């Protein structure tokens, strides 16, 4: 993977929590970050990070309402590297079960489903990561490492571009990579050295 200068990173602010900790983590690895809800800033950025803490329906709707959803789609089509975090992964899919049903951005086929009954939900804490045979270079170094999760819904283990899986009752997608689109179900900003190393790789991908 050839390292490229990070350029300007748009950190999308659409009302989700945990924004500042993601901003701080990106700055810690040398990124030039602008926190924004302006679609034009998203279109012009060299990279985009979509954080997420909250519900998939609310986050997806907030992005559509602000115009950021359309700007994000344009950036992805243009080849801009994009990283989705937690709900930022979930909203990439067509639909989800949360709150009686939610429409995602439809960038990836499939459905975000609730983790199985009988497990403690939300799943909060550290879980081990397992790489898939086709794991993208961005995620391959994380095989066997632990990352911090906080969620009740997840993408299936056979999601498009799945690069890392973990298990909470059932195996599910912990990270995926499809062309210039990357996403993680865990929180790199809370995953200490492992998470910071991932963000550093992303800002040079």
Residue 99 φ/ψ region, left for φ over 0, alpha for ψ in the -120 to 50 degree band, beta for the rest:
left
Burial of 171 (0-12, 13-18, 19+ CB in 10 A): middle
Catalytic residue among 23, 98, 189, 200: 189
Q: Where are the alpha helices (DSSP H) in 29-97?
A: 39-44, 56-66, 68-78, 87-90
Q: How far apart are CA 109 and CA 5, in angstroms?
A: 31
Which one of the listed residues 59, 86, 123, 145 is annotated catalytic?
Answer: 86
Among the listed residues 123, 151, 168, 187, the single catalytic one is: 187
> Cα(112)–Cα(153) distance, rounded to whole angstroms?
6
Phi, psi values for residue 2, rounded to 5°: -80, 125
> How many other C-beta atoms lie within 10 A of the C-beta of residue 16?
23
Q: Tell me whether residue 187 is one of the annotated catalytic residues.
A: yes
Under a CB-based contact definition with an 8 Å cutoff, are residues 194 and 137 in contact? no
Contacts of 142 (CB under 8 A, 6+ apart): 129, 131, 164, 175, 194, 198
The question of whether 86 is a catalytic residue gets the answer yes
**Residues tagged active-site:** 86, 187, 189
């Amino acid at each position: 993977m050839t390292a490229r200068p990070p350029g300007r990173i748009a950190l999308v602010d659409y009302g989700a929590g945990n924004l500042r900790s993601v901003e701080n983590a990106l700055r810690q690895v040398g990124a030039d970050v602008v926190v924004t809800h302006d679609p034009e800033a998203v279109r012009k950025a060299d990279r985009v990070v979509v954080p997420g803490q909250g519900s998939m329906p609310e986050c997806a709707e907030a992005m559509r309402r602000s115009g950021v959803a359309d700007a994000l789609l344009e950036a992805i089509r243009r080849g801009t590297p994009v990283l989705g975090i937690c709900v930022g992964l979930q909203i990439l899919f067509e639909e989800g079960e949360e709150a009686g049903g939610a429409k995602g951005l439809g960038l990836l086929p499939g459905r975000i489903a609730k983790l199985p009954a009988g497990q403690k939900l939300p799943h909060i804490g550290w879980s081990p990561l397992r790489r898939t045979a086709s794991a993208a270079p961005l995620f391959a170094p994380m095989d066997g490492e632990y990352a911090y999760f906080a969620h009740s819904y997840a993408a299936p283990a056979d999601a498009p571009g799945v690069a890392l899986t973990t298990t909470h009752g059932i195996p599910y997608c912990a990270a995926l990579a499809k062309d210039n689109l990357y996403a993680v179900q865990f929180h790199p900003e809370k995953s200490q050295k492992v998470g910071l190393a991932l963000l550093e790789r992303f800002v040079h991908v």
